[in-house]
Each structure stands twice: as C-alpha cells, then as structure tokens.
Amino acid sequence: MSDKPDHPVIGWEKETAVPNNHQFNRYLHVQNGHLHMEGLDLAQFFLDEAPQGFEKTMPSPLEIVYLPLIRQQIQKMNQVFSDVIAELDYTGEFHYTYASKANAAEEVIRTTLGAGANHEMSSTVDVDIARIMIERGLLTPDRMIVCNGFKGPKSLYAANLLQLRLLHENLIPVIEDLEEISLFLSSGQPFDVGLRQKSYGHNETLAEIDKANSRFGLNTDDMWKAAAYVAAAPNLTLKMYHYMVGSQLTNIPDFISSLKPGIELFARLRQRYPSLSIFNFGGGMPVAMTLDFDFDYHEFVRQLLTALQEACQRYNVPVPDVMGEFGRYTTSEHGAHLFKIITVKENGSKLPWYIIDGSIMSSFPDSWALSEHFIVLPLNHLDKPFQQVQLGGITCDSDDVYPPKPSHSPLYLPVEADELYIGFFSIGAYQEMLGGVKGSKHCVLPEAYELIIDQEGDGRFQFQILHGQTPDDVLRNLGYAV
Ligand SMILES: Cc1ncc(COP(=O)(O)O)c(C=O)c1O
C-alpha cells in the first residue's frame, strides 16, 4: 500500500510541536521555533528581535519576493537537461525560456535574464517590457524572444513586434492562426518563425487533437499549409514547432504520451523543412505548491529526449534543440505572503476560525477560483502545540477561506495565537498577476508592502522595501478626490 497521503499536504499535520531543525521542503525549515526560508528567519520582519540584522519591523501583511529561488530553479533545470543530453548522447541543445505571464514584475524578469533564460511573451505590453530590458543591456542579442499570443495583422501587438525586430534579431513570432503570417511576410524584414499546433489537453493522436475544443494554435491541415507558406516566403524562416499540452502536469507517462503526437508531426515536418530546428513543448512543467509534491525531472527529460530520438530516427532526420517555456516552475517558489492572526473565533464551528489581516481570495485567486492548494505554515510558535483550524480572510466574503472549498487537507496552526504570524508559500506564479498589482481590491483592502530579498556573492542578504498602498491611494484609485 502506498504511504502517499490522499490529500495535498499544505502544512504541519500534527498536534505536537514541530521538532527543531525539521525541514519541510528544500527551502523551509524550523529553528528555535521560527520558520526559516533558506537561511532567513521570516518572523524577524515583524518581531523586535532582528536576529539577522534586518533593523526595521515591517507592517503586516507582507509579500516576500525571494530572488535566489528563481536562479536555483533555472540552474536546476539546465543541469537536468545537460545531464540527460550527455547520458543519451543527444545531439541537440536545450533552451530554457521564462514564460513571463507567470509573473512580469521587473525584479523577476531581471533575475531570469540574469540567470541566462530566454524570454517568452504574449501581449503588446510585454513588447515594451522587452524593449526596456534590451535598453538596459539585460536582454542581450544572444537571447531568443519567443512571441506567443494572438497577433492578428491589425493588432497593436503585431505592429509592436515589427518595431522590436529592428532592435533585436533573435525574435520568433509563434503563429497561432494562418491570418497572422501576412504581416510578417509583407514587412520584408527577416524573421525566424514558430508555428503553434493546436494541442491542449490529453490527446494521443493528431485526429483527437484536431477535434479538441481549444482556441490556440493550428490544426494539422493548417499546420502543413502554414509551414509551406512560411517556407516559400523570401524573408521568413521556419524555425520552431510549438506544442504545449497543459499546466502543472505531474504524471510523467501522461505528459509524455500527450507530447508524442506532436513529436511525430515535428519529425514529419522536419523531413520536408530542414530549417525547422526547435521543438518547443511550451509550459506544463510542474513545481511543488504543496509539501507532498514528487516529480522526477530527470526521468521526464530522459523520456522526452528518448521519444524525440526515436521519432527522428524513424523519419531519418536530426534531433531538434528542445525548448520549454517555464512559467510556474520558474516563479512559484520565490513568492510568499505573510499575515498576522488578528483574532481566533470559535463561533460554534467544528474548527476554530483563525482570522488573518488580509484577504486569501484576492491575494491567491486560484485558491477560491480553482480550489488550488498552497503551503501554509506559522512563522513563530512552531515549538508549541498545534490544533486543526480554518483560516478566514478579513473581507466580508464567505469564500475568503482556506483550505479552499472543497478540500480534504487539514490545516494545523499553533494553539498559541498571540502575536502569531503565518505564511502562504509557493504563490509566486500567476497569483499576483491575476489579483492585480496596485488596483482596488475586494472590500477595499490596501495592497501589502513588498520585501524583495536577494543574496550577495558572500551570502549576505540584500533587502529592498516597496511601499504598499495607503488608504488614500485606494480612495484616489476609486475616483474619490482626497
Ligand atoms: C504559450 C504558453 N507558454 C508557457 C506557459 C507557461 O505555462 P506554465 O506556467 O505551466 O509553465 C503558458 C501558460 O499558460 C502558455 O500559455
């Protein structure tokens, strides 16, 4: 019998204190009753103890942006590919690409580029971000910019891409629809081009995929037409085949079997169009959002490259370079959101309500919209007894609760709730972008302060504080003259 829990593990699941030095995952461990993120005591930001030289006490709630974890994720994946490429004598290269839709904050893009990632985008403002990063010398000429998203010939996005191409040669528009080709063709500018196959979901044949209800990409017939059209154009070069099958795909056999029809079609296209040199499997790479996560990245990459080798051998074509567009994988773990428990209320409920000084649903929209689970742990009092509880946000919304509805995951927090702080972890991908930055939020709650943390070469932490919204900011935003 498997000892794998039958629910996502979101925190400590016992009534006893957490043992000193307990390691929850790669980056969270306990020391002297406090939770540490790598070497950093998180409770110090609120309590007057400052064990690591952070001299201010910060207001709660507080968003933590911990940049070293982004670099580690990129290095880890590059290492996995490099190991498997050597193991299999795979003759193509791997191109790590950051899918910026997961989190487009300046410090995130600066960090992914600094770690050597290529850049993926999906809309017209993304083009402005890329331009800023090129001007700052961070998005260097060697990096590919992969342009997904709808870019019809009359769109601002497409027009902006033509301008960006003047600054950056290594720009690859990925065609979603046949009508998108004409603008790039008539521009006369040389473009490497990608073609996106309609492919979302678990489908094991191209016939099934062609019938899938998806608005993305080209069906198989249109894929052949687009390839012929691009290959015949004097200024366009067919370079990339894009085939994405989903998000947070934790089952390796399913992930690989879903990719196989695309791998097969890639090899057939490659026979006819030798310039086609990159197989891009898009997003989908899973990451730990709970404590029970288990995924063998090495095994996934081994099966992916093996499948590419086998198909390419059958069609007698060279293996391609491989690209992944890593959104959630790159940025999930670097983000945490810290709150104070402001009151405990029994209210005749089976479990006591621990009320936080912020909103769960507007800070992590996926928890109420998709019943997504995230890790929740106390920052202090970990050396004291725990009890099972439920969390409530400070809004007046009955959906502002955690664990999400419906969930079988128990949530335990310390019984001692005086000056108790907690953190939501692995919330760095999509949550902030979906919840909005600096807008007006549910129940007019002002946005939290943000603490951006990085590490210098000698291991010392660097801190940058971004101010949260004041009540006046919120009022002005809603049209009140204050
Ligand atoms: C085209 C494309 N690439 C990459 C991604 C990133 O996916 P993930 O966050 O699963 O890595 C997405 C997400 O929607 C996408 O639409």
Give distance in angstroms: CA of 100 to centre of ligand 1. Answer: 9
Same domain, 323 and 382: no
The model's pLDDT over 99-139, given as tens digits with 9 standing for 90+, comes to 999 999 999 999 999 999 999 999 999 999 999 999 999 99
Give distance in angstroms: CA of 98 to centre of ligand 1. Answer: 9
Same domain, 59 and 88: no
Same domain, 357 and 426: yes
Strand extents, DSSP E, 38-84: 40-41, 62-66
Higher pLDDT, 262 or 53: 262
Same domain, 298 and 207: yes
Same domain, 52 and 151: no
pLDDT at 202: 84
Give distance in angstroms: CA of 12 to centre of ligand 1. Answer: 31
Q: Poorest-confidence range of 78-82, 203-207, 331-335, 398-402?
A: 203-207
Residue-range definition of the domain harbouring residue 32: 28-67+334-477
pTM for this model (two decimals): 0.96
- Helix extents (H) in 284-430: 297-314, 328-331, 360-363, 365-369
Neighbours of 395 (CB within 10 A): 18
Look at residue 20 and tell me if it is in a domain: no
Same domain, 357 and 227: no
Look at residue 305 and tell me if it is in a domain: yes
pLDDT of 218 > 90? The answer is yes
Tell me the pLDDT band of 481, cut-offs 50, 70 and 90.
Answer: confident
pLDDT of 454 > 70? The answer is yes
Query: Is 77:97 a contact under the CB 8 Å cutoff?
Result: no
Mutate-to-test residue for ligand 1 from 325, 331, 370, 430, highest number of ligand atoms within 8 A of CB: 325
- Measured N-to-C along each axis, helices 124-135 and 156-167 cross at an angle, to the nearest 10 degrees, of 20
pLDDT of 408 > 70? The answer is yes
Same domain, 74 and 110: yes
Query: What is the distance between the alpha carbons of residues 328 and 330, in angstroms, rounded to a whole number?
Result: 5
Which of 331, 350, 384 is at the close of a domain? Answer: 331
Mean pLDDT of 373-397: 97
CA distances 195 to 181, 262, 280, Å, are 10, 12, 10
pLDDT of 49 > 90? The answer is no
Mutate-to-test residue for ligand 1 from 244, 329, 332, highest number of ligand atoms within 8 A of CB: 244
Look at residue 57 and tell me if it is in a domain: yes
Same domain, 198 and 166: yes
Which of 331, 359, 389 is at the close of a domain? Answer: 331
CA distances 40 to 20, 52, 359, Å, are 15, 8, 25
The amino acid occupying position 233 is A
| Ligand 1 site residues, Cβ closer than 6 angstroms | 99, 101-102, 120, 148, 244, 247, 282-285, 325-329
Q: Which atom of ligand 1 is nearest to the CA of 326?
A: 11
pLDDT at 1: 46
Same domain, 273 and 385: no
pLDDT at 162: 98
Provide the token pair at 447. 């946005």
Q: Total structural domains in the chain?
A: 2
The model's pLDDT over 148-163, given as tens digits with 9 standing for 90+, comes to 999 999 999 999 999 9
Neighbours of 48 (CB within 10 A): 6
Query: In which residue are the tokens 């009359």 written?
Result: 154
For the chain, give the percent of residues with pLDDT over 70.
98
What is the helix, strand, coil percentage profile of the chain, to 5?
30, 20, 45
Same domain, 295 and 195: yes
Give the closest residue (by CA) to ligand 1 atom 7: 283
